[in-house]
Amino acid sequence: MNSRISFLKESIRNLKTLGTVTPSSRFLAERMLKKIDFSKVEVLVEFGPGNGAITKLILEKLPANATLICFEINDNFYKQLSEIKNPQLVIIKSSAEKIEEELNKLNFNKANHIISSLPLTIIPEEITNEILAKSLYVLENKGTFIQFQYSLTYYKKLKSVFNQAISLDFEPLNFPPAFVYHCKKVD
Ligand SMILES: C[S@@+](CC[C@H](N)C(=O)[O-])C[C@H]1O[C@@H](n2cnc3c(N)ncnc32)[C@H](O)[C@@H]1O
């Protein structure tokens, strides 16, 4: 089935956890990843990969010795992602706030960068707070948390979590157009 139609069907069934009706465009995926120096990447984490719109681009750019660890709670997306046969990809069917324990299970304790498509505004606030706090904790120093949003509602919150070390970008060639936050951990 066409991936846009299957995404639409999934979003109708799960509007409260998807937050959109169509996968991200290649333009948005490129904008999310444009500041990452992939030559230095060892461990990347993706939150909310969906049917893999950003995941596939990350895998194209990932150096041979690096690992991509994805957290996805949706059953059907988890199954679709599991069909991507790539030894560098680990798909975890678990919510993003479990990042620290799941990385530890895989014998990692830090991530270089976290790429997030989580629908922050529809996840309960206490869970979002936990996800952001744990993300900050597991990021290496100078690592980045990259998030897109269709509005600026989380700009202030992310600024305070990341101690003002945040830059804002915008991608018009996406439906809907999206803001991209690049948040840097600075010890
Ligand atoms: C806006 S969609 C983005 C999908 C894809 N990354 C893209 O850009 O096309 C949000 C995704 O986050 C997932 N999600 C929502 N809450 C989550 C959570 N707490 N932990 C992990 N994934 C979550 C949803 O199932 C959905 O796949």
Cα 119 to ligand 1 centroid, rounded to whole Å:
7
Residues 6+ apart with CB under 8 A from 66: 38, 41, 42, 43, 44, 88
Residue 95: alpha-carbon gap to chain centroid: 12
**13 part of a folded domain:** no
Q: How confident is the model over 3-16, as a mean pLDDT?
A: 82
Residue of 74, 149, 151 with the most ligand 1 atoms within 8 Å of its CB, for mutation: 74
Nearest Cα residue to atom 11 of ligand 1: 48
Q: Please check whether residue 139 lies inside any domain of the structure.
A: yes
Does residue 2 have a pLDDT over 80?
Answer: no
Q: Does residue 15 belong to any structural domain of this protein?
A: no
| CATH, residue 72 | 3.40.50.150
User: 98-116: per-residue pLDDT in tens?
Assistant: 999 999 999 999 999 999 9
| Model pLDDT, residue 1 | 57
Identify the CA nearest to 17 among candidates 98, 119, 116, 97.
119
- For residue 80 and ligand 1, the question of a CB distance below 6 A is answered with no
Does the Cβ of 77 fall within 6 Å of ligand 1?
A: yes
What is the residue type of 21?
Answer: V
Domain enclosing residue 109, as ranges: 25-184
Q: Is pLDDT above 70 for 93?
A: yes
Question: Can you tell me the distance from the alpha carbon of 76 to that of 145, in angstroms, rounded to the nearest whole number?
Answer: 26
